[in-house]
Amino acid sequence: GQSLEQPSEVTAVEGAIVQINCTYQTSGFYGLSWYQQHDGGAPTFLSYNALDGLEETGRFSSFLSRSDSYGYLLLQELQMKDSASYFCAVRDPGTASKLTFGTGTRLQVTL
């Protein structure tokens, strides 16, 4: 089976940098994804790492270390609108591309 662990809550100040960690234990691995979900809304796709290293998309970056079964999402220049829950997810290598999601990290950005 698959299991993923994330911190439950993180608080940071507007303009700062925050890192959300994710460790996983999987029976198969085909990449680590990150999703953002605002209260009451649907998750939206942020990033995907299949190989080790850093992927950058604007203010957001995601990192993966397959040997450590570890990844993180880095958010820079935090804005109030970044207050949301963030989920890491492991993709199953099968044809169905199933995603198993972590428990989620609630990010609160303050002034």
Partner 1 sequence: SQTIHQWPATLVQPVGSPLSLECTVEGTSNPNLYWYRQAAGRGLQLLFYSVGIGQISSEVPQNLSASRPQDRQFILSSKKLLLSDSGFYLCAWSVRGLHGYTFGSGTRLTVV
The Cα–Cα gap between 17 and 24 comes to: 23
Which of residues 12 and 55 has its CB atom nearest to partner 1 in the complex? Answer: 55
Q: Is 76 in the site for partner 1 (CB under 8 A)?
A: no
- Are the beta carbons of 5 and 26 closer than 8 angstroms? no
Q: Are 64 and 52 in contact (CB under 8 A)?
A: yes
Q: Does 98 bind partner 1 (CB under 8 A)?
A: yes
User: Does 99 interact with partner 1 (rule: CB under 8 A)?
Assistant: yes
Q: How far is the CB of 7 from partner 1 (least distance, A)?
A: 13
* Smallest distance from partner 1 to CB 91, Å: 8
What length is written for the chain? 111
Strands 105-110 and 9-13 turn out to be parallel
Least gap, CB of 15 to partner 1 (angstroms): 27
Site for partner 1 in 13-52 (CB under 8 A): 31, 33, 35, 41-45, 48, 50
Going from the C-alpha of 72 to that of each of 21, 40, 42, 57, 94, the distances in angstroms are: 4, 24, 21, 14, 24
Footprint of partner 1 (CB under 8 A): 31, 33, 35, 41-45, 48, 50, 87, 91, 95-104
